């Protein structure tokens, strides 16, 4: 069998149901095999769109995402998407073409060392130099991507290896001596954890993206109910615990709820599950959870004690560990602690100014109401991402897709396309800013041609909103290069920073939607929001809704960089 045909056989054997990518010279043999394979292929308009779509497919479905690109610029255009998946532990297999093995190292046309470039942002990568190795490499790639702590695996496949023949069969199973993830938690550590839990008076459960990867949302809910303990999540963990539940604290950290931050700072025990304690969560590390002993459960031992000291580390698959831990615990009640939580919620709810202007928080609330909080929501990065995390009450795992670790502008729309491919009958919405949506807007062609009915909600404040927010708060309102209406007639010192600008906004998103063959709607007034959103949701096919929002509206609460998480800027009385 030729190498290119073996690739297709591997994808079929691994149950791949969707391929995203872009052709080129060094992968023509693989694309020739795709032509008659019957595998669903989605031709994006940019390689970055392809890798983000594969990522969105993986997050929404729980399966391995798959994308293909040619060598050189095709491969390097994947780098941002690979890094996005790596930071958020998303299982991808990325296949890149490479020049023939005889040309490697000779600066051949469209040759780059993509393995070297991506070594630090992949879980593993391969350059295949011998056709006999290809079956094992393909099998290993899928196994490594989906097992343990998931992540992207890259296979760089030279053109002559694709054309070479082999009698080696595709293996049914694979065992790697140097790679054996620990699944079962150590019983002594589990018993220590149970003892700490039994002694605690003010426990808090902090759950993250690892719970999503392990499909352990039911175990988290059971743990909360057994302990009568509140649950807060990281951005990556949104949806794993119903946010309308009385135990829900919603999101923790820089733009988390005040009551989540207060609860963690007052807790005597923090049960951290599938989280990495990144800086946006902890704030000033030595002031984080100062009264709490910490139990940290994660399948990746390198994530434990990386950022905070823990009392009881437990390495293992989260679902398996929680199932074992829950059997060791006795049901209990914490009436005083839960009453304190209730008081904080009443005194410090999420809030925003009630004005006649179109407030972005109001838009998210109306969207949540119209969808019963049940849509698959993707976001770009920045203010749109944080307003969505705060005001859309997520109910289920894999319903929130966003670039958490890398913070990739342009992620949300192609990821939404991948999610729509995974769930063709579900409502998929991308909530975007006017800056980030333009980074991969070319994928409107992909949405229209493949009839992927993603709804794009653009919160248009005519600026790079989150950067502008920081300039407003910390840089004396010196708005350097954040106005998206700025043009060559504008003075060096913007005179309209506090008022209306007469410059036209470019582009007109409604006309842009129509140019691609999609539907476009605009909202300029608050009383239009509910009706136009309802129309957009029920309109067949891809839709763009452009909503003109208050440019001065910021995301609050906000923990300034370097401050402990209980010291928040609130933005309003």
pLDDT (tens digit per residue) in 278-312: 999 999 999 999 999 999 999 999 999 999 999 99
Residue 274 domain flag = yes
Residue 236, pLDDT > 50, answer yes
Q: Is the pLDDT of residue 81 over 50?
A: yes
Residue 495 has pLDDT above 70, yes or no: no
415 shares its domain with 300: no
Would you put residue 274 in left (φ > 0), alpha (ψ -120 to 50) or beta?
left
One of 109, 163, 291, 336 is an active-site residue; which one?
Answer: 109
- At residue 156, the pLDDT reads 98
- Residue (of 350, 533, 558) closest to 469 by Cα position: 558
Residues 37 and 151 in one domain: yes
Query: Region 53-65: what's the mean pLDDT?
Result: 98
314 and 452 co-located in one domain: no
Which of 100, 129, 163 delimits the end of a domain?
Answer: 163
Predicted confidence band at 109 (pLDDT cuts at 50, 70, 90)? very high
**Which residue is associated with the tokens 């998103």?**
509
Task: With respect to residue 562, please indicate whether it lies within any of the assigned structural domains.
Answer: no
Whole-number pLDDT of residue 366: 98
* Beta carbons of 486 and 494 less than 8 angstroms apart: yes
Q: pLDDT category, 573, cuts 50, 70, 90?
A: very low
Instruction: Please answer whether residues 226 and 331 qualify as being in contact, where contact means their C-beta atoms are separated by less than 8 angstroms.
Output: yes
- Is 540 part of a structural domain of the chain? yes
Residues 422 and 529 in one domain: yes
Residues 127 and 218 grouped into a single domain: no
Q: CATH number of the domain that 316 lies in?
A: 3.40.50.1220
Judge if 525 and 380 occupy the same domain. yes
Residue 110 catalytic? yes
The answer on 159 and 48 residing in a single domain is yes
**241 labelled catalytic:** no
Of the chain, the percentage scoring pLDDT greater than 90 comes to: 95
Last residue of a domain, one of 347, 372, 403: 347
Residue 239, pLDDT > 90, answer yes
**188 belongs to the catalytic site:** no
Q: What token pair was written down for 120?
A: 């630090």
Which structure tokens are listed for 209?
A: 């993206």
Judge whether 466 counts as a catalytic residue.
yes
Domain residues for 129? 3-163
Domain count, the chain: 3
Helix axes 217-227, 318-328, angle to 10 degrees: 20
* pTM of the shown model: 0.97
Coil/strand/helix, residue 140 = helix
Determine, yes or no, domain membership for 556. no
**Of residues 159, 250, 345, 455, which has the active-site annotation?**
159
Domain assignment present for 225: yes
| 123 tagged catalytic | no
Q: Mark whether 313 and 396 lie in a shared domain.
A: no
Query: Do 421 and 518 lie in a common domain?
Result: yes
What is the sign of the dihedral through the CA atoms of 279, 283, 286 and 287? negative
- Catalytic choice (466, 469, 546, 568): 466
The mean of the pLDDT values for the chain is 96
151 and 210 together in one domain: no
Predicted confidence at residue 307, as pLDDT, reads 93
Helix (H) or strand (E) holding 314, with range, is strand 312-315
Catalytic residue among 9, 12, 41, 110: 110
563 domain-assigned: no
Q: Are residues 324 and 387 in the same domain?
A: no
What is the average per-residue pLDDT within 345-349?
96
d(CA 273, CA 263) in angstroms, rounded, equals: 17
Which residue in this structure is represented by tokens 């009453």? 339
Residue 332: per-residue pLDDT: 95
Long-range CB pairs of 497-504 (<8 Å, 24+ gap) are 501/462
Range list of H helices, 200-278: 209-213, 217-227, 258-266
CA 380/CA 371 separation, integer angstroms: 19
- Which CATH number is 152's domain given? 3.40.50.970
Active-site pick, 14, 33, 47, 546: 47
Q: Check whether residue 88 and residue 109 sit in a common domain.
A: yes
Last residue of a domain, one of 312, 347, 382: 347
């Amino acid at each position: 069998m030729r190498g290119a045909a073996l690739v297709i056989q591997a994808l079929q054997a691994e149950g791949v149901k969707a391929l995203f990518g872009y052709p080129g010279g060094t992968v023509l043999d693989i694309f020739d095999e795709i032509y008659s394979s019957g595998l669903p292929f989605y031709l994006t308009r940019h390689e970055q769109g392809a890798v983000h779509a594969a990522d969105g497919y993986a997050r929404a479905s729980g399966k391995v995402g798959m994308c293909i690109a040619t060598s050189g610029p095709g491969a390097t255009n994947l780098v941002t998407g690979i890094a996005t998946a790596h930071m958020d532990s998303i299982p991808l297999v990325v296949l890149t073409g490479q020049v023939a093995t005889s040309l490697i190292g000779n600066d051949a046309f469209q040759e780059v060392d993509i393995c070297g470039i991506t070594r630090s942002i992949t879980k593993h990568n391969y350059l295949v130099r011998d056709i006999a190795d290809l079956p094992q490499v393909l099998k290993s790639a899928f196994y490594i991507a989906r097992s343990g702590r998931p992540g992207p695996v890259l296979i760089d496949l030279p053109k002559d290896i694709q054309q070479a023949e082999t009698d080696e069969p595709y293996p049914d199973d694979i065992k790697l001596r140097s790679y054996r993830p620990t699944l079962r938690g150590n019983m002594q550590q589990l018993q220590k954890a149970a003892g700490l839990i039994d002694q605690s008076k003010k426990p808090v459960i902090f759950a993250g993206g690892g719970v999503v990867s392990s499909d352990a949302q039911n175990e988290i809910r059971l743990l909360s109910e057994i302990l009568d303990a509140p649950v807060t999540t990281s951005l990556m963990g949104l949806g794993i615990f119903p946010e309308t539940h009385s135990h829900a604290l919603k999101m923790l950290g820089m733009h988390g709820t005040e009551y989540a931050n207060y609860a963690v700072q007052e807790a005597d025990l923090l049960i951290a599950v599938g989280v990495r304690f990144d800086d946006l969560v902890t704030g000033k590390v030595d002031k984080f959870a100062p009264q709490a002993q910490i139990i940290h459960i994660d399948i990746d031992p390198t994530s434990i004690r990386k950022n905070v000291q823990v009392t009881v580390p437990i390495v293992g698959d989260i679902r398996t560990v929680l199932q074992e831990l829950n059997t060791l615990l006795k049901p209990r009640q914490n009436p005083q602690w839960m009453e304190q939580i209730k008081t904080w919620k009443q005194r410090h709810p999420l809030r925003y100014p009630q004005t006649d202007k179109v407030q972005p928080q109001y838009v998210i609330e109306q969207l949540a109401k119209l969808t019963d909080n049940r849509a698959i929501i993707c976001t770009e990065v920045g203010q749109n991402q944080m307003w969505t995390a705060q005001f859309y009450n997520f109910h289920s795992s894999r319903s929130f897709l966003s670039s958490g670790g890398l913070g990739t502008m342009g992620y949300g729309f192609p990821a939404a396309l991948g999610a729509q491919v995974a769930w063709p009958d579900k409502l998929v919405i991308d909530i975007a800013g006017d800056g980030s949506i333009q980074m991969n807007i070319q994928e409107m062609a992909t949405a229209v041609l493949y009839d992927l009915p993603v709804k794009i909600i653009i919160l248009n404040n005519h600026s790079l909103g989150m950067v502008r927010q920081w300039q407003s708060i910390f840089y004396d309102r010196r708005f350097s290069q954040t106005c998206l209406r700025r043009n060559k007639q504008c003075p060096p010192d913007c005179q309209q920073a506090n008022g209306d600008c007469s410059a036209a906004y470019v582009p007109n998103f409604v006309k842009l939607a129509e140019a691609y063959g999609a539907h476009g709607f605009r909202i300029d007034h608050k009383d239009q929001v509910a009706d136009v959103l309802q129309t957009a949701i029920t309109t067949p096919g891809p839709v763009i809704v452009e909503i003109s929002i208050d440019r001065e509206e910021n995301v609050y609460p906000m923990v300034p960089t370097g401050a402990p998480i209980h010291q928040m800027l609130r933005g309003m009385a």
